[in-house]
Chains A and B, each alone.
Chain A
Amino acid sequence: MKNTETVCKKIFRLAGGAQCEVMASIHSSALTRFADNVISQNVASSSATFTVRLLDNGRTVKLNFNQTDDASLKRAVSSGLEILKKQKKVPGLLPLAKPRPIPAGKNLYFKETAELSPLYRAERAAELAKACKRNGQTAYGTFENGASELVIANNLGVFARHRETSAVHSVTVRDRDGFGWAEYSAFDVHEIPFARLNDTARAKAAASRSPREIKPGRYTVILEPQAASDLLCYLAVYGFDGQLYNEGRSFICGKLGKKVLSPLLSFGDNALDGAAPGMPFDYEGQPRTKAALVENGVIIAPVHDRSTARAAKTASTGHALPQPSDMGPIPLNLAVKPGSGTLEDLIKGTERGILVTQFHYTNMLKEQLVEMTGMTRNGTFMVENGKITFPVKNLRFTQNMAEAFNDVEAVSGQAVPCAAWGVMSCPAFRLKNFNFSSSTKF
């Protein structure tokens, strides 16, 4: 911390009269990967990188380096100042941000999580592998932990610092031609329910053996939280990016205040004290605000950084990515409002539909429609008359997500942390008329 502050001050001195922003990212992580019931890869890395942005009289340059001895700092900043001199002036260039009060945010740093040993990670992998071996199954997955610290500072007085830890247990189990999967990510390793995840993946693999081929077409789908979050994060990121909105490229253009999605759908971005917390400031060092995005199907507003806010004649919501950025501001701490009941209740209420554990290789076809494609994976099941009746071979969907999430039948009452573009908390969903365009061979 002190060292980071010292480096920032040295960089500010070297920048002279230019406006100067420093983003310092200090990161350490370790990951144990297992496959075929053995540890296949076991790695650790640590890094400290400094990204410096210089602005002077309508000119700008960004430097990135990881050596911070005096000679390296001088060389980097001097080369940046030289590049500045060679540019033409851009009159409208946005100056750096001035300091604003940063809210406290949640404590997301847990020392024990940061310091897990390679032996601890190996033991977690071994627990699943041994259970799989005993039952003729095969374990694959990862267990990783890490700690990161981010400082955003500039010579106008901004100094914001955040640190957090992470631990993720992700398991895939193969049972002959059946596959199952479960995952949990947490800031504190003690929140991870290892045994339950292992049991879920193993049971799902056993249940998905001998899948049957079904005809592609439109089906009711029950999306487990990870599957639902995979689609909703595209809807949120491509729909509520202030830059895409300003450029007329978002599905919410011209629809603010209108009911476009299902009344059962509400989600927002809240890094401060929501279900998916994170850094209480953005990458310009501006305070994150709580942003309601969709309330009961009504579109509220996009998120903004200072640049898109200026173009839209509004205020930044504190959602900037590192500047300058090809992508605009995006919501990275999404919380979807839960409904009621359990996943089992969603299944019970289904006359005929498909239960999806997870999607694979989802991608965008048309961003302004949030039209997407992707495959089901690791446990896809037919549901008939409120019961899972048989596993099905994986299916490809091709679907407009704004339409899909206007067809919500039910939302479960429990949201769980899901892997998305940032952090996301999401419940399970049941949607009508979901379009599966083809199937695969397994």
Chain B
Amino acid sequence: MFKLAAKAIEIANKYKVDFGDVRVIEKRSQNLSVKNGEINGLTDQTTLGYGIRVLYQGAWGFASGSRMTERAVADTALKAIAIAKASGLLMAGRVRLAPEPAYTDFWQTPFLKDPFAVPVETKLDLLFRIDAVLRGNKKIRVAASEMRFLRERQWHMTTEGSRIEQVQLSSGASLSATAVQNGDVQTRSYPCTHGGQTLAGGWEVIEAMNMLDHAEQVREEALALLAASVCPAGVRDLIISGNQLALQIHESVGHASELDRVLGYEESYAGSSFATTEKLGKFRYGSPIVNLVADATLPGGLATAGYDDDAVKAQRWHIIKDGILSGYMTNREFCGKIGMKRSWGSCRADGYSCIPITRICNLSLMPGSTPLEQLVGEVRDGIMMENNMSWSIDQKRLNFQFGCEIGWLIKNGKKTRMVKNPTYQGITPEFWGSCDAIADHGEWRLWGVANCGKGQPGQTAMMCHGSSPARFRKVKIGMHG
């Protein structure tokens, strides 16, 4: 593939571009799902194509194609240059990229068992066995279980001389039961909601979930939610666990720290950020125990790779250190705006047909030192919520509201009865400022976000957020329409 990619670099050099790169990407994915005793989907996907980016006289152009001939690649490169010329009509100054050494390298996700080599019948057999357990009660109207596997192989060349081949592999699965009775609908999931858990790795990721062992509990908790009372409204202490804390990190810190958004380049769509650049190194984002670390080298992380799509080598850095805003997600174009000589390397594209943009890296809340029992034991009047059901946050990432799958009231240090439809609201820095305890490393888990949307045209990216359950004091709970 490098031979084909070289044609784009040849054209870029011929036109003396400031910078040019080409990414040839072969994507293979497999999705299997079983619903109510039937195969709901079994899809095998293979796509191949290339995206060419040029910086011509200080202005960007990008074009992509999937006809795998040298002539088609050359035509696409010329199209990218023509687009860059048009961009030059409306520019403030020349775009300059932060320098990065040229690399020749191969990197791949470590894995034990190739999920594409595991027979389809083995996968379906597990899903059907889970399905049978989930359907063990007539009130369960929807029993759903699924698996997904993705392998993306990329050949990346730049006019600066980088020649990088990377293979990223991820595996994911979920199961859920939806119970319906008298107009009420309640769903319980494992390991988490929104398509379940996805991590970098092979079939061993699926095996580690022990899905079948959890099916009965999922079914019974979905039924119990029907009988549970609705989460009462009020201000109380909140302990967040499951993928809800991952979503809280994602929405209120991850997106807020994307430097392109901070600088206004997402204003027309997803919005900007309150975490503006003059706050860097000074602004109290959370309490002193809050440490959030971006890490493109994190084992199992969906954003883990050898290099980002700016051909910048993977790094690890603080976004929030001891509660203070300390870093951003950057690319080579914008990092200079905060005085950085080198990008932290968080620029990625969704496949071959999209231009690389600033993305959330793996971003994790570092564990605290409090045992989980103590986290609960120190709450007089509170609630524990698990797994995200709905999310919404304003365009500066300040006012948010989340809904969770399940909650348990906490009274005088004891987890008591289950409640349904729990929700909470807050303002980002006030909320993280109210974090007074984080469970210890024994509770720390990595949660995958496999469907993060951003940009125009829309792009999807994957990343992980690690966390232990954390406690937040005096939170507004239980909003309903």
Contact surface of A with B, Cβ cutoff 8 Å: 29-49, 59-67, 76, 79-80, 83, 86-88, 90, 92-93, 117-119, 121-123, 125-126, 129, 138, 140-142, 144, 170-172, 174, 247-249, 253, 324-326, 360-369, 371-375, 377, 394, 396, 398-401, 403, 435, 437-442
Tell me whether A61 and B44 are in contact in the complex, defined as CB-CB below 8 angstroms, given that A31-B456, A39-B59, A172-B268 are known contacts.
Answer: yes
Q: Which residues of B contact A80 (CB under 8 A)?
A: 44
Bound Cα distance from A35 to B344, whole angstroms: 23
B62 CB–A CB distance under 8 Å: yes
Tell me whether A65 and B45 are in contact in the complex, defined as CB-CB below 8 angstroms, given that A144-B457, A367-B185, A374-B392 are known contacts.
Answer: yes
Contact between chains at B62 and A44 (CB < 8 Å): yes
Of B39, B65, B92, B142, the residue contacting A247 (CB under 8 A) is B142
Bound Cα distance from A429 to B48, whole angstroms: 47
Tell me whether A129 and B425 are in contact in the complex, defined as CB-CB below 8 angstroms, given that A253-B183, A373-B401, A441-B398 are known contacts.
Answer: no
B339 CB–A CB distance under 8 Å: no
Interface residues in B420-450 (C-beta closer than 8 Å to A): 421, 423, 425, 427
Within the complex, the shortest CB–CB distance from A171 to chain B, in Å, comes to: 8
Q: Which residues of A contact B220 (CB under 8 A)?
A: none
Q: Which residues of B contact A325 (CB under 8 A)?
A: 41
B367 CB–A CB distance under 8 Å: no
Of A66, A119, A249, the residue contacting B185 (CB under 8 A) is A249
Bound Cα distance from A39 to B62, whole angstroms: 13
Contact between chains at A42 and B48 (CB < 8 Å): no
B374 CB–A CB distance under 8 Å: no
Contact between chains at A47 and B355 (CB < 8 Å): no
B180 CB–A CB distance under 8 Å: yes
Q: Mark B79-119, 1 if CB is under 8 A from A, else 0.
A: 11011111101111000000000000000000000000001
Contact between chains at B403 and A365 (CB < 8 Å): yes
Of A45, A365, A396, the residue contacting B353 (CB under 8 A) is A45
B141 CB–A CB distance under 8 Å: yes
Query: Given A44-B64, A122-B90, 19 more contacts at CB 8 Å?
Result: A31-B456, A36-B92, A37-B92, A43-B62, A60-B42, A63-B45, A66-B49, A121-B86, A129-B90, A172-B267, A247-B142, A248-B180, A249-B141, A325-B41, A362-B392, A438-B401, A440-B398, A440-B399, A441-B399
Lowest 8 CB-CB distances: which A-B pairs, in order? Answer: A118-B86, A440-B399, A64-B45, A400-B481, A140-B268, A140-B267, A399-B481, A43-B62
Contact between chains at A65 and B46 (CB < 8 Å): yes
Contact between chains at A373 and B180 (CB < 8 Å): no
Interface residues in B376-429 (C-beta closer than 8 Å to A): 389-396, 398-399, 401, 403, 421, 423, 425, 427
Of A49, A118, A138, A361, the residue contacting B393 (CB under 8 A) is A361
B124 CB–A CB distance under 8 Å: yes
Bound Cα distance from A184 to B137, whole angstroms: 49
Tell me whether A33 and B141 are in contact in the complex, defined as CB-CB below 8 angstroms, given that A47-B49, A440-B394 are known contacts.
Answer: no
Chain B: interface size category:
35 or more
Of A86, A371, A399, the residue contacting B119 (CB under 8 A) is A86
Contact between chains at B479 and A437 (CB < 8 Å): yes
Bound Cα distance from A36 to B266, whole angstroms: 10
Within the complex, the shortest CB–CB distance from A184 to chain B, in Å, comes to: 14
Tell me whether A47 and B268 are in contact in the complex, defined as CB-CB below 8 angstroms, given that A66-B47, A66-B49, A86-B119 are known contacts.
Answer: no
Bound Cα distance from A44 to B401, whole angstroms: 36
Tell me whether A118 and B82 are in contact in the complex, defined as CB-CB below 8 angstroms, given that A83-B120, A174-B267 are known contacts.
Answer: yes
Q: Which residues of A contact B46 (CB under 8 A)?
A: 64-65, 67, 76
Q: Which residues of A contact B355 (CB under 8 A)?
A: 41, 43
- Name the residue of chain A whose CB is nearest to the CB of B48: A67
- Name the residue of chain B whose CB is nearest to the CB of A86: B121
Bound Cα distance from A32 to B68, whole angstroms: 26
Q: Which residues of B contact A32 (CB under 8 A)?
A: 86-87
Bound Cα distance from A336 to B352, whole angstroms: 38
Q: Which residues of B contact A142 (CB under 8 A)?
A: 268-269, 456
B207 CB–A CB distance under 8 Å: no
Bound Cα distance from A35 to B87, whole angstroms: 12
Contact between chains at A87 and B185 (CB < 8 Å): no
Interface residues in B23-70 (C-beta closer than 8 Å to A): 33, 35, 38-49, 51, 59-66, 68
B184 CB–A CB distance under 8 Å: yes
B271 CB–A CB distance under 8 Å: yes
Q: Which residues of B contact A365 (CB under 8 A)?
A: 389-390, 403, 421, 423, 480-481
Within the complex, the shortest CB–CB distance from B198 to chain A, in Å, comes to: 16
- Name the residue of chain A whose CB is nearest to the CB of B251: A361
- Name the residue of chain B whose CB is nearest to the CB of A395: B399
Query: 22 A-B Cβ contacts within 8 A?
Result: A31-B457, A35-B266, A38-B90, A39-B59, A41-B456, A42-B62, A42-B87, A44-B80, A45-B63, A45-B354, A63-B44, A76-B46, A79-B44, A83-B44, A122-B86, A125-B90, A170-B268, A247-B141, A365-B390, A398-B480, A437-B479, A442-B398
Of A29, A119, A125, A439, the residue contacting B457 (CB under 8 A) is A29
Q: Which residues of A contact B236 (CB under 8 A)?
A: none
Within the complex, the shortest CB–CB distance from A410 to chain B, in Å, comes to: 22
Tell me whether A39 and B89 are in contact in the complex, defined as CB-CB below 8 angstroms, given that A83-B42, A118-B83, A440-B396 are known contacts.
Answer: yes
B178 CB–A CB distance under 8 Å: yes
Bound Cα distance from A60 to B120, whole angstroms: 12
Of A38, A93, A123, the residue contacting B92 (CB under 8 A) is A38
Q: Which residues of B contact A65 (CB under 8 A)?
A: 45-47
Of B35, B89, B389, the residue contacting A119 (CB under 8 A) is B89
Tell me whether A66 and B48 are in contact in the complex, defined as CB-CB below 8 angstroms, given that A38-B90, A122-B87 are known contacts.
Answer: yes
Contact between chains at A248 and B185 (CB < 8 Å): yes
Bound Cα distance from A35 to B92, whole angstroms: 11
Bound Cα distance from A35 to B264, whole angstroms: 7
Tell me whether A363 and B353 are in contact in the complex, defined as CB-CB below 8 angstroms, given that A43-B62, A67-B48, A76-B46 are known contacts.
Answer: no
Q: Mark B169-196, 1 if CB is under 8 A from A, else 0.
A: 0000000001010011100000000000
B342 CB–A CB distance under 8 Å: no
B473 CB–A CB distance under 8 Å: no
Within the complex, the shortest CB–CB distance from B61 to chain A, in Å, comes to: 6
B7 CB–A CB distance under 8 Å: no
Contact between chains at B399 and A87 (CB < 8 Å): no
B265 CB–A CB distance under 8 Å: yes
B283 CB–A CB distance under 8 Å: no
B274 CB–A CB distance under 8 Å: yes
B454 CB–A CB distance under 8 Å: no
B476 CB–A CB distance under 8 Å: yes
Bound Cα distance from A66 to B274, whole angstroms: 42
Most buried by A among B64, B144, B456: B456
